[in-house]
Amino acid sequence: MAGRPDRRRLRRLALPRGLRRAGLRLRGRPLDRTRRRGRRRPGTGHHHLALRALRVQAGRGVHRQDPFGDAFRVRRARREEGLRAVHHELQVVADPDAVAGTAAAFVARLAQACVQAHGRFTFAVSGGHTPWAMFARLAHEHVPWEHVAVFQVDERVAPDGDPDRNLTHLRESLGAAPAEVIAMPVNDADLDAAAAAYGRSLPERFDLVHLGLGPDGHTASLVPRDPVLEVSDRLVALTAPYMGHQRMTLTYPALARAQQVLWLITGADKREPLSRLVAGDRSIPAGRVEAAASLVLTDAAAADQGPPRAGAQSPA
């Protein structure tokens, strides 16, 4: 049976008490110099069964992690055989609601830290359904919105206000939160020029990039077999039609500007691509994303810790 979320802990996460209590690190340096809280003993958390399952599936790519405090630990990517191997921190919570709440608290606290450290928080957000609840929760968090710039990771080529547009749902979910959203210009007549212009508007680094994961292993609009996967000379590019729409997307070089990636992955249909992602499987598009640090936040269903499926055998 899936573990229940630790309500006490989640409540604490939703009410950040300031950076000094967060054990927060930014660009490798602790912002919390007075932190005394020790690490919890491995395996004592309510997620340990899920984590153990993923460790078996994914081998060395998975790291057991304390909820939240350690999630901010920035781990520098290593260069191995010319490739930048990303170490994924993995956090499993009970369900999509817990994913949304934990993610919103994470984003809010990172925003506070970045604004305090360098005056601005640059945040690139993906589409899909999974982040809607997180954005809605974020609107009620303590976020220094006047210093936040929200960029799009990807967008469908469709009219303004179209329900297929990621922007439509982003704005709806954020509600009255006064976020500056720098929208992808997917209605321009010359889409190649528009993509290039969006690329020029991107910051040198993103403080945070949110990514999702499709059942086919796609992330952003980096979709299997599309030539966009090989684009290395542009920050923003266009895809062939995929699931009904041509798309504009950040490319791998743009995503590599992320100081921190936050993956939000929920649902049983993500089990296989999730295990591939954390194993560093570069045969799926998501497995080729590079970033300075990566937190994979997932629910029990995606981590294969849901209720037993009909006909499933219990282990002996």
Binding residues vs ligand LXAUTJHC (CB under 6 A):
126-130, 153-154, 212-214, 219-221
100 versus 153: smaller Cβ distance to ligand LXAUTJHC: 153
Nearest to 72 by CA among 24, 21, 13: 24
22 versus 157: smaller Cβ distance to ligand LXAUTJHC: 157
SS3 284: coil
Q: Is the dihedral of CA 24, 6, 131, 300 positive or negative?
A: positive
Nearest distance from residue 90's CB to ligand LXAUTJHC, in Å?
17
65 versus 130: smaller Cβ distance to ligand LXAUTJHC: 130
Nearest distance from residue 126's CB to ligand LXAUTJHC, in Å?
3
Report which DSSP code applies to 59.
G
Residue, CB closest to ligand LXAUTJHC? 128
Nearest distance from residue 218's CB to ligand LXAUTJHC, in Å?
6
Contact 244, 162 (CB under 8 A): no
2 versus 213: smaller Cβ distance to ligand LXAUTJHC: 213
β-pairing verdict for 148-152 and 236-238: unpaired
Nearest distance from residue 302's CB to ligand LXAUTJHC, in Å?
10
**Per-residue three-class SS string for 198-264:** HHHHCCCCECEEEECCCCCCCECCECCCCHHHHCCCCCEEECCCECCECEEEECHHHHCCECCEEEE
Nearest distance from residue 212's CB to ligand LXAUTJHC, in Å?
2
Secondary element (H or E) of residue 154: strand 154-156
57 versus 239: smaller Cβ distance to ligand LXAUTJHC: 239
144 versus 253: smaller Cβ distance to ligand LXAUTJHC: 253
Contact 110, 260 (CB under 8 A): yes
Nearest to 40 by CA among 6, 14, 74: 6
Nearest distance from residue 39's CB to ligand LXAUTJHC, in Å?
31
